[in-house]
Amino acid sequence: MRKRPLIALGMLGLGLSGAWWILASHPEVVLERPAPESRSPPPASSPQPLASANPPAGRLQLEVTEASVGHPADAFSSLKAKANAGETSAACQLAFELHRCAQLPSLESGLLQMRRQAYQLEERSTDRAKLEVEIASRTAAIDEYRASCDGIDPKERREGWRYLLAAANAGHLPSMLRFIHGLGLNWSGRPLDDLEQWIAYRDNMPSLLERAVASGHPDAYAAAAKLYTRAPFGKSPVGRDPVKSLAFRLALVRTTAGDQARAIEEVQINRFIAEEKLDSAAVARAESLATPLVAKLDLASAKTSFPNGGCDVRASGK
């Protein structure tokens, strides 16, 4: 009759020993207390789309509910109010901040790997000293991100792409470029979870690329040169067209300052032609397409940088 309690105690002991071994062998495993549920949930309402593919000019198509972004309440409430009022820079900033929050787990994982790498190096070696400087810098940045993201639900952090699309559709060039490259989109690796943003990328990327190229900004030309042969997420929505890609490369190289820099670009172009197996007729077509592109290229805009997502509308030109 006493065997069953003894067996149960033995199994409990084995379970506790196994749990201790997991924690000791994997220091990255952290046990967290679940956040308490809110006692005053917001009233239910029908979700509204945050962005349409073709919004009226000068007006963001945003409908953000009070529960769509968590805390810190003051900063995000202010951004939401401005975005709802049609302020492009607010939508851009909200997209940038939410994407940064969504990237926290991967940033923390990368930091853990760096710490492990540093631990394996000699304590007073130059390589370890350099790595520790980088670790300190990244730790400070991650701490800042954690503070600004505190209280924001993980699911809400993945919604930044909607605001990015709204800012891009409103004509904000830095947001166009970020969306075109797939920056600001959060891929979970679960196709069904990512389906909505993939459809949005597929349907909006071609027109946004065309509008960005029309601005004449060199970054838009570089994006086109890349995206006509390589896509960030498998098949490119604009299709594969090496001739068009070469045309944008030629337009950029014709405006490259400095003989040495131009020579480097020409070597890369010749390599591209060889890799794509483009014949003389294809190269001639690309050169013909490059001529009007050179005329539209705005070299003055090349000096414009886009820090923090380019969300300062005055600095980014829109």
pLDDT of 89 above 60 = yes
Query: Structure tokens of 32?
Result: 């967290």
- 52 with 61: CB under 8 angstroms? yes
Asked if 122 and 128 count as a contact pair (C-beta separation under 8 A), the reply is yes
Residues 287 and 197 in one domain: no
Residue 315 sits at φ, ψ, to 5 deg, of -80, -25
Domain boundary among 150, 179, 209: 209
- The boundaries of the domain holding residue 244 are 218-297
**Lowest model confidence (mean pLDDT) among 47-56, 86-95, 231-240, 300-309:** 47-56
Contacts of 281 (CB under 8 A, 6+ apart): none
On whether both 64 and 193 belong to a single domain, the answer is yes
CA distances from 181 to 97, 220, 221, 233, 250 (A): 18, 10, 12, 9, 21
pTM of the model: 0.68
Assess whether 71 and 131 both reside in one domain. Answer: yes
Low-confidence winner among 60-64, 90-94, 268-272 (lowest mean pLDDT): 60-64
Q: Are residues 60 and 202 in the same domain?
A: yes
CA distances (Å), origin 214, targets 207, 210, 211: 11, 6, 5
Instruction: Tell me the HSE value of 175 on the side-chain side, using a 13 A CA sphere.
Output: 29
The reply to whether 196 and 82 lie within a common domain is: yes
Summarised one tens digit per residue, pLDDT across range 238-293 is 999 999 999 999 999 877 767 778 888 889 999 999 999 999 999 999 999 999 99
Q: Do 147 and 94 belong to one domain?
A: yes
Residue pLDDT, tens place only, 169-211: 999 999 999 999 888 887 766 667 778 888 999 999 999 999 9
